[in-house]
Amino acid sequence: MIQREFHELGLVADRAGLEAKLVAIAQAMDFDIASAAVAVDRPGQPALFEMVGNTPEAFMQASRDPGNVARDPVIQRLRKSGLPFVYDQALYTQAGAGDLWELQAPYGYKTGVAMAMHLPGGQHFLLGMDRARPLPADTDQLNRVMADICLLAVHAQEAAVRVILAEPAPQKLPRLTPREIEILHWTKEGKSAWAVGQILAMSESTVQTHLRNVRRKMGVSSKHQAILRAIGLGLIDG
């Protein structure tokens, strides 16, 4: 049964399907929390990082301190290794990060397995599975659990890279000032630079300067193109 579930995971069509299937498989494997992430290195700018799963939102909010991320022994190990490993309170305590474990514990984190897959093109896939009850003490049973998680990671990685990286990147809004938006609004209404200046109590040359800045920020060559793009982005009414 679990093999069929893995196969179906690899065929999901969108992010919602990926998340639902990943969590369902994790729970069928007796794990309460599952999270998967795709990270892509981007030289000169922050890495792209997208995550799916049922990680508690309250924990997400509480764990965003960059200093805590840098100290987290699980994150450190994921960056260096592609092998699955078990983590629990002992791992954090031995790394001198017992306080980070205490931060996680109220949200259901007791013990778990994590692994990373480091792919060509600066792509990385991370998988974490957490549960309230202890992992099997028997070595053979634990090895079977780890093997299943490795197989899950292969299918989840293929689906996550296909689904998440295929999503269109969110369009970055130009950072227009309130005054620039106001000038665009009146320009859209057919007012000349002189008329806009009269309405807003500024000189015609100042209005022209604002419009040049708007064109530069929007990457367009005319005020008409700037107006159309501003309408499309919802910055001004159509």
What digits encode the pLDDT tens for the residues 171-214?
A: 567 889 999 999 999 999 889 999 999 999 999 999 999 999 99
In CATH terms, are 2-164 and 178-232 the same topology?
no
Domain boundaries, the chain: 2-164, 178-232
> Residue 97: its pLDDT value, please?
92
Provide φ and ψ at 127, rounded to 5°. Answer: -135, 130
- CA separation (Å) from 17 to 14, 156, 230? 5, 11, 34
> Residue 56: its pLDDT value, please?
87
∠ CA 99-102-106 to the nearest 5 degrees? 155
Q: Where does the pLDDT of residue 43 fall: very low under 50, low under 70, confident under 90, or very high at 90 and above?
A: confident
Give the lowest-confidence range in 28-32, 201-205, 218-222.
218-222
Give the lowest-confidence range in 42-51, 85-94, 185-194.
42-51
> Residue 165: its pLDDT value, please?
83
The number of angstroms, rounded, from the C-alpha of 173 to the middle of its chain's C-alpha atoms is 18
> Residue 167: its pLDDT value, please?
61
Q: 2-164 — its CATH code?
A: 3.30.450.80
What digits encode the pLDDT tens for the residues 113-150?
A: 999 999 888 999 999 999 999 999 999 999 999 999 99
- Domain 178-232, CATH number (from 1.10.287.130, 2.30.30.100, 2.60.40.10, 1.10.10.10): 1.10.10.10
